[in-house]
Amino acid sequence: MLILSESIVKVGERYTIVIPKEVRRSLGIKKGQLLRVVSDGEKIIIEPLPDDPFKVFEQILGDFQYSKEDRLKAEKLLLKEVEKDTNT
């Protein structure tokens, strides 16, 4: 279920804004955490970045392991594909 939170904030000196306490708490934003700021020309979206992006990858991929042999096979396969594309 999507729960929207809305607040009005004032742009301060140096164009800073204060993220309301309820939003910080609900998103788990901590002091010093990195946030991604995106603009589509009309709106601004501020999205918290994970503290440890590698931990997020680990959660998505699970126990992801491969051998050196698997890597070499994959590299050879990719090189063959690139050669096909350049010869076409």
Task: For residue range 3-32, list pLDDT tens digits in order.
Answer: 788 899 999 999 999 999 999 999 999 999
CB 29 within 8 A of CB 23: yes
Contacts of 29 (CB under 8 A, 6+ apart): 19, 23, 35, 48
First to last CA, the chain: 49
Q: Is the pTM of this model over 0.85?
A: no
Q: Which tokens is 61 given?
A: 């991929």
Percentage with pLDDT > 70 across the chain: 95
Other C-beta atoms closer than 10 Å to the C-beta of 23 total 14
Distance, CA of 34 to CA of 46 (rounded, Å):
10
